[in-house]
Amino acid sequence: MAITVRPLVEGDIPTFLDLVQALADYEKIPGPDAAARDRLRHDALSDPPRFRVLLAELHGQVAGYSLYFFTYSSFMGRPTLYVEDIFVLPEFRRNGAGRALMGAMAREAVRNGCGRMEWTVLDWNKPAIALYEDLGGRILQEWRVVRVTAEKLARLAQG
């Protein structure tokens, strides 16, 4: 079965937002509220976009998506393609959609002179970990994600 990968266009926004909610459901976390959905819509379509989205299609049906943006590595002196989300709907898994999305992002990273592509994975998501390792990814045990949100972020900003 042929998977096609293409960039998001304005008409895809409702489908994209449904996919983001499906990922949240899969990860057992709250999805975006109405205000966050509005920001996602705006930021995806802004010029320049704050992030980029690719959609994987199988027989004309959207099977999954990836959301990525660029960061920068001061040690390499090169950009990094950072994958925020990659998700394939359960009924489309094992058809190559995840691999196709990862391959498309890798090509985008190479095209943009990136020194690497990075993302995080939940430790309980064994199928994703197996896929990422099969694609050549290495799970970094020594690096930990650090996050500051909401009130603590506001407090930090105030000094």
What integer pLDDT is reported at residue 26 of this predicted model? 96
Spatial CA neighbour of 26 closest among 83, 90, 91 = 90
Determine the average pLDDT of the residues in 125-134: 95
Q: List pLDDT tens digits, range 30-63.
A: 999 999 999 999 999 999 999 999 999 999 999 9
What integer pLDDT is reported at residue 66 of this predicted model? 98
Q: Is residue 51 a contact partner of residue 69, using CB atoms and an 8 Å limit?
A: yes
Determine the average pLDDT of the residues in 153-158: 96
Q: List pLDDT tens digits, range 103-126.
A: 999 999 999 999 999 999 999 999
pLDDT band at 1 (very low <50, low <70, confident <90, very high): low
Q: Is 132 a catalytic residue?
A: yes
Q: List pLDDT tens digits, range 6-32.
A: 999 999 999 999 999 999 999 999 999
Q: List pLDDT tens digits, range 63-85.
A: 999 999 999 999 999 999 999 99
What integer pLDDT is reported at residue 149 of this predicted model? 95
Instruction: Please list the residues that pair with 113 across neighbouring strands.
Output: none
What integer pLDDT is reported at residue 9 of this predicted model? 98
Residue showing tokens 């995806």: 44
Domains and CATH numbers, the chain: 3-158 (3.40.630.30)
Number of H helices, E strands in the chain: 5, 5
- Which of these is catalytic: 65, 68, 82, 132? 132
Please list, in sequence order, all residues whose beta carbon lies within 8 angstroms of the beta carbon of residue 38, skipping any fewer than 6 positions away: none
% of the chain beyond a pLDDT of 90? 98
